[in-house]
Amino acid sequence: MTATDNALGCLALTLALHIASLANADPSLPPFYEAVTKMKAEGKLGEVIKKERVTTPIPNAEAWRIAYISSDMANKKTISTGMVIAPTGNAPTDGRPIISWAHGTTGTAQNCGPSQVENPAVPLNEYFLVSGNSWTDYGVPALAEFIKAGYVVVASDYQGLGGGGKHQYQLSATQARDSIDAIRAAGSLKEAGAARKSIIYGWSQGAGAAIAAASSPEYIAREGTAFDGIKVEGFVAMAPPFFRAIAPQGALTDASAHAMISGTLKSFSNSVNNFNHFAMTIWASQAAYPGKLKLTDVFTDDGAQFIDTIMSNKCVHSASDTLNYTYGDGFAELVRPDIGNAKAFAETLIASAGPDEKPVAPVIIFWGTKDIVVPPVMHKIYREHMCRLGGNVTRIQLAGDKTHFATPAASQPLYLPWIADRLAERPAPDGCAAELVQD
């Protein structure tokens, strides 16, 4: 190592410690969300505790920002924000089906909720695509098509992304509850004219939420909510993560848990962007179980302070940029050489996949061969496991070399008729019969 390398390394460390020493002031929020963060998580599941109208360019549609009551995987009441978009005019006597959208990764800070952008009630707009026009992903896939079909659409931001508290990123069981309670929230909004028949569809982080929701019959069937009796007819998952796929075989031991966490770290250390996702997941896990897990179990003291600062204040892309600017390829020095409490972290990640039960309704998965964000083996193992439990899970490889970020648009022509069939209660084909490849 040259003297220049040493100097640059010292400069990077000095910058990191300076940034980490700053107070973790919450980012500023629009007035709607600022008010929500001061509210208490009290009320029925799905109860709308605040709403405001927003404009939408979708023809014959009206929209609202909402804040509603949900709960996390530890059964703690939370507040989630989001939006509802519904057709204008009188609803049919039997109501309008509800489509619950579960979004992909946007970050962990309070200002990372997609409904916070100036014009949120639009079709999906992705940051990484040429057409992206914002610092974040926002909007809802197939929104105009769903409104034209007469459906109500609800899109949760998830807890911790505008409603107070710390976001439990990649803890799919929590985002599953947010997506289920979003259906209750939309149903309780009388202006929407919603029915109890519904669908949950999601991409990436939200796809994990969709499949976790599929295995949550008890939570779906809960009574005493703001809108009892919901019936989810199907689940669409575009490139879903499934942490139970990386669980060790047999009983979880200290050694196997350490191998699981170390292996996960290794697989996510091939780039700053992927390491950022690992750091977000660890930060979210200790946020969910603060008495059980600590950032310093995985990161050095300085690294933990640095990670906490950026995850509390930055959304996903700016967090990656800060990691890259401050550490470059040296981000591994943030991690302890002797990761501690691995068994508790492993238990949390495994449990985050949701109950180990067969899906309550058909599931369809879409994936691309060029996906380097969510390893396709995760949802391959998910399908095989749920088929053994008696579920009906279809898995379709999209035509061509589709990346993670191309998946939503490429899937849309396939999931729209599938959703229409499920809402019409037509029998679903046996998805466990064979793996499918799009023509």
Same domain, residue pair 255 and 396: no
Instruction: Single out the residue in 325, 350, 375 at which a domain terminates.
Output: 350
Q: Is the per-residue pLDDT at 16 higher than 50?
A: no
Same domain, residue pair 76 and 197: yes
Rounded Cα distance between 58 and 367, Å, is: 28
If one counts every other C-beta atom within 10 angstroms of the C-beta of residue 119, the result is 15
Q: What CA dihedral angle connects 229, 230, 233 and 236, to 10 degrees?
A: -150
Q: Does residue 23 lie in a domain region?
A: no
Q: Is the per-residue pLDDT at 21 higher than 60?
A: no
Q: Does residue 1 lie in a domain region?
A: no
Place of tokens 């939200």: 206
How many domains, the chain? Answer: 2
Q: What is the pLDDT of residue 329?
A: 92
Could you report how far apart the first and last alpha carbons of the chain are, in Å?
Answer: 53
Phi, psi for 408 (deg, rounded to 5): -60, -45
Judge whether 85 and 54 are in contact, CB under 8 Å: no
Q: What is the pLDDT of residue 243?
A: 95
The SS3 call for residue 159 is strand
Instruction: Single out the residue in 350, 385, 411 at which a domain terminates.
Output: 350
Same domain, residue pair 286 and 298: yes
For the segment 135-180, what is each residue's pLDDT rounded down to a tens digit?
A: 999 999 999 999 999 999 999 999 999 999 999 999 999 999 999 9
pTM metric for this prediction: 0.94
Averaged confidence pLDDT in the chain = 94
Spell 369-407 as b/e; 16+ CB within 10 A means b. ebbebbbbebbbbbbebbbeeebbbbbbbbeeebbbbbb
* H or E, element range at 325: helix 316-327
Q: What is the pLDDT of residue 20?
A: 44
Are β-strands 393-397 and 363-367 bridged in parallel, bridged antiparallel, or unpaired? parallel
For the segment 281-311, what is each residue's pLDDT rounded down to a tens digit?
A: 999 999 999 999 999 999 999 999 999 999 9
Q: Provide mean pLDDT across the span 37-60.
A: 97
Domain limits at 402? 31-242+355-437
Judge whether 180 and 213 are in contact, CB under 8 Å: yes
Same domain, residue pair 183 and 308: no
Q: Which CATH number is 171's domain given?
A: 3.40.50.1820
Q: What is the pLDDT of residue 1?
A: 45
For the segment 97-141, what is each residue's pLDDT rounded down to a tens digit?
A: 999 999 999 999 999 999 999 999 999 999 999 999 999 999 999
Same domain, residue pair 42 and 98: yes
Q: What is the pLDDT of residue 25?
A: 58
Same domain, residue pair 250 and 236: no
Q: Does residue 259 lie in a domain region?
A: yes
Same domain, residue pair 214 and 92: yes
